[in-house]
Amino acid sequence: MRLKNKVALITGSSRGIGKATALLFAKEGAKVVVNYIKAETEANAVVEEIKKIGSDALAIRCDVSNEQQVKKMFGEAIRKFGRIDILVNNAGIVFDVPFFKRTVEQWKKTLDVDLIGVFICSKYAAKQMQKQNSGKIINISSTNGINTYHPESIDYSAAKAGVINLTKSMAMGLGPKILVNCVAPGWVKTNMNANLSEDYVEKETQKIYLKRFSEPEEIAKAILFLASDDASYITGSTLVVDGGYYG
């Protein structure tokens, strides 16, 4: 087991990539804090699945863009498990809106959750990790943050580019004991992409070398790698998991 006796907090882990990561971490021996904002039933179901696997878990409602809620969440997690070894900053939102119809409020909300939320959660995780003299932070960005081909989600792309930059800065500032890396998925079969038209999905699929969208579990495996000792000499890096995508 690559994460035996480790404690992981995964934001946005009631479904999608976060859920897949939570379950995979549990199978590898980790205790998991399942964070959610609206999907309480789904989050509790993930906790139950983890317990059936044979590990332990705790569901905590928290808006990652609200510093007081984040502070409280980490306090609860540490009281329950005593430590935080791994933080996965996975929570994110997107608004698919044409350029001239996009509002400043949408921009602010996207940046609050997708970028500032990463900073806030990392801040409180790192405080605990420094006390432990060790820790791993894995930020979930997107290929949107590297090559921007989607003008209808410009704020999302900007936020995800910021996450990559933030990863590099945190890796330098929190090293050498805390390792900070990033995973940049391409298209993934998640609820976030569930409402895409069949024509659009087909068009995008043809741009992928592997000719399919990723399963959430395939992204979770990349996150597990960076969270494990197998990545003990990797920090400040971004791992692209997109099946080969040429935009």
Q: What is the pLDDT of residues 11-34, one digit of tens each?
A: 999 999 999 999 999 999 999 999
In the prediction, which pLDDT does 192 show? 82
Mean pLDDT on 169-183: 98
CATH topology of domain 7-241: Rossmann fold (3.40.50)
Q: Please give the pLDDT value at position 151.
A: 87
What mean pLDDT value characterizes the chain? 96
Closest by CA to 23, choosing from 190, 178, 238, 14, is 14
**Which pLDDT does position 191 carry in this prediction?**
83
Report residue 246's pLDDT band, with 50, 70 and 90 as the boundaries: confident
Residue 78, pLDDT score: 98
Per-residue pLDDT of 190-204, as tens digits, reads: 988 888 899 999 999
Is the pLDDT at 149 greater than 80? The verdict is no
Number of H-type helices and E-type strands within the chain: 8, 7
Does the active-site annotation cover 156?
yes
Residues facing residue 87 across a β-bridge = 9, 137
Exactly one of 149, 156, 233, 245 is catalytic; name it. 156
* pLDDT given at position 193: 85
Evaluate if residue 205 carries a pLDDT over 90. Answer: yes
Tokens of 107: 């921009």
**Considering the entire predicted model, what is its pTM?**
0.97
Residue 165 has pLDDT above 90, yes or no: yes
Mean pLDDT of 100-123: 97
The stretch 227-242 carries a mean pLDDT of 98
Task: Return all residues near 205 (Cβ < 8 A) that are at least 6 apart.
Answer: 187, 211, 212, 213
**Out of 95-99, 125-129, 132-136, 180-184, least confident range:** 95-99
Give the SS3 label for residue 246: coil
Residue 179 pLDDT exceeds 90: yes
**Residue 139 above 90 pLDDT?**
yes
Per-residue model confidence (pLDDT) at position 130: 98
Sequence ranges of the domains in the chain: 7-241
The least confident of 129-133, 152-156, 225-229 is 152-156
Phi-psi region of 180 (alpha: psi -120 to 50; beta: other; left: phi over 0): beta
